[in-house]
Structure 1
Amino acid sequence: MIFRRLALPLALALFSTTALAQTPIDPLDARDARRLDRMEQVMRELRAIVFQGRDSGKPVVIQPAETDYQLQELTRRLGELEQSLTRITGDLETAARDGELARRENQALKSQIKSLSDKIATLENRAAAAEAPVDAGLPAPELSGAPPTQTATETFNQARQLMLSGDYDGAETGFRAYVARYGDSLKAPEARYWLGKTLSARAAHAEAAGAYIGAIRGWPRTPWAPDAVVELARALIQIKKPADACQTLAEFSRRYPKAPPAVQGRAAAARSQAKCAA
């Protein structure tokens, strides 16, 4: 249908153009000649378009004038470039914000690492101090009236009996003597534990803490070990070191999860007193 509608006007236009082409032209009218040449060029392009549409069967699309089309295409490309530049600018701004955020996070991470390193160094120093003999610098007292040939078992049992009878001064002397004489024996950690008990009973909390540390060195799996850890935490609370007490109680929960209920109850009370985090 499109070809039929275009056929008649094109035929008339071609006839008119042919007739004009056969009409003599005044050589002086150069502008009319150029105009006629342009019209013939347009008609040839129209014929080519019509024949192309007829042969291909596709709709005929007549493009605008070359200059206008190029201007439109240039405008479109400029619009696309502006959109691309806008996206790139946005991406650069986002990258800059991400970089600044990463820099701040890196600084915060460095601060946290330094803080953790300081804490680790402090804990290592405390561990080194805990490994020092609890009786360092203390005289090695003799049991009152005890013969020099008294065995290790006799020395331990006598000090234990003095403690059970309420003679904490005598018990302290006995356990100090045992640690001084038999500090490398298998019963030495337990002797330090009972020495800590006598010191706690006499409110010598700083010395008691040292005795308990010596007793639980290596975290032994003995019946008295969980109680020694709790007693250490209580002594630390008394000497105004609640943070160390909380760390000690955390180790208690981790290393002695099956401690007797009574010991666990005193550990809970110590946590509350030290205001340990849940």
Structure 2
Amino acid sequence: MPVAAPVAAQTPIDESLSKRDARRLDDMDKAIKEMRAIVFKGRDTGKPVVVEMVDTDARLAEFANRLGDLEQSLTKINASLETTSHELDQARRANQALSAQVKTLTDRLAAIEQKQAAAETAAASPPAPVEPPSPAAAQASATEAFGHARQLMLSGDYEGAEGAFRAYVQTYPDAPRTPEARYWWGKTLAVKGGHADAATAYIGAIRGWPQTAWAPDAVVELARELVALKKPADACQTLAEVPKHYPKAPAAVKARAATLAAQAKCG
């Protein structure tokens, strides 16, 4: 029986290959697998198989271009977002300012409505009774008003005196000096040429034939206004009352009465 030659000990191939050779073997193994897949695909389908070479650099360049486009798009989107954010911030501030203005106008309108409501309530409610002034206060006010009107007349301000005496007569119709105020009121009206109003004022002054120093002159002045109003008969009748009610009238008043009687052709 022949003796078999001793088998030399086998050393693993991987241990004797360098790392570079190992990578090459892996690449070859992958290529063989891809070729098998292509062959089997052509056998199964019966169609020619087109083997496309993989261009890694071209793909990388294409990916780089796409990435650049994406970066540009993102840059534009970010710029648009910043612009939109700025516009939204401005709109928010404008809205806050508008809200403040609306609140101010609303408050003003509410205040006006409150005032109007208060005025309507006050108008609807009956006025509070006004307490009449005390007799002493009324007398003091009347005296001051009469003195003021008389001072205006003495200073030559007949326009102001006419208004002051008219106000006195209207405000104090029952005051003790109201007849005298009517007498002076007639004087101011006569100066302005208001003969009818002056005659009315004199009539109010001498009603009841008061025994005062100014009364005889008031009667003569009434006759004068009647003559100016072309009422001689009424003037003569008025002058006839002077010696009856005022026999002690001053000589100057009697002389003026005689002159008016002649002017009116009294019998």
Q: Which protein is bigger by CA-based radius of gyration? A: 2
TM-score tier by shorter-chain length is 0.3 to 0.5
Q: Could you state the TM-score of these two structures normalised by the residue count of structure 2?
A: 0.47
Q: Could you state the TM-score of these two structures normalised by the residue count of structure 1?
A: 0.46
